[in-house]
Structure 1
């Protein structure tokens, strides 16, 4: 068994696609119209056949209270692995990304938390 798809709820699929590709560096994998929304996924350019991240519309009534509560409590919706949190923090901050947590080392793990501009906090992490 392996993880094939993971989702983040987004308030605007076009804005999310721009952020996740142009800023974070993911690559669009699927973009299929489904009524007013799309089946929209991105993948890591390092593993184009790997796990897809679904940029899921937040239109279900339960989503906004859930995602708002996570953001208010500072809880990331998901975590992405990076080779160097400090370097990625510097690169992304240079692109105007807002961080809610600067790089923080806790034991063998270094993390930082950013705002994806689409309703989520996202953690970047590196384990030594």
Structure 2
């Protein structure tokens, strides 16, 4: 039996801002975009791992108003789990993110004591993203 990762969901409050960031700044490719019941989700992939899809969706989509509001509040506080990416050129990726002005920089590229070189920032919705050197 084989189990593999297929999708990762990232909640966003503004799909257009998120799409612009993940596509135009990080270089992900749009695989699918679907509108449903007043909301939409956008599926993106990285060129190096097209089998793993990153799904941008709104907290209220497909949830009760109470649950959607609770998730939106957690998103606004930056309390949702982050996403970790790997780049073949961390410094170049970091500079592209910084130059975009679309992300809050949390940590410049740093050599960590556990052997990884990485950087951290918040996407336009407040999700923490870390990028490590491949």
TM-score of the two chains, using structure 2 as the length reference = 0.80
Which string of whole-angstrom CA distances, capped at 9 and with x for unpartnered residues, describes residues 58-87 of structure 1?
A: 221221333344x37xx8611111113222
Within the candidate set 73, 78, 82, 2:83 is matched to 78
Over aligned residue pairs, what C-alpha RMSD do you find? 2.0
Which string of whole-angstrom CA distances, capped at 9 and with x for unpartnered residues, describes residues 8-38 of structure 1?
A: 1100112111111011110111111211112
Q: Distance in 2 between matches of 1:21 and 1:61?
A: 27
What are the equivalent positions in structure 2 for 1:109-120 lying under 5 Å apart? 109-120=116-127
TM-score of the two chains, using structure 1 as the length reference = 0.83
SS at match of 2:48: coil
Q: Distance in 2 between matches of 1:112 and 1:33?
A: 33
Q: Distance in 2 between matches of 1:76 and 1:126?
A: 20
What are the equivalent positions in structure 2 for 1:117-128 lying under 5 Å apart? 117-126=124-133
Q: Distance in 1 between matches of 2:58 and 2:97?
A: 24
Which structure 2 residue ranges, 5 or more long, are not aligned? 61-67
- Please identify the structure whose Cα radius of gyration is greater: 2
* Aligned: 1:11 with 2:13: yes
1:14–1:68 CA distance, 2 compared to 1 (3 A): closer
Which structure 1 residue ranges, 5 or more long, are not aligned? none
What are the equivalent positions in structure 2 for 1:1-128 lying under 5 Å apart? 1-48=3-50, 50-59=51-60, 60-69=68-77, 71=78, 77-96=82-101, 97-106=103-112, 107-126=114-133
8 Å Cα contact 2:75/2:125 also seen in 1: no
Structure 1 residue runs of 4 or more that deviate by more than 4 Å after TM superposition: none
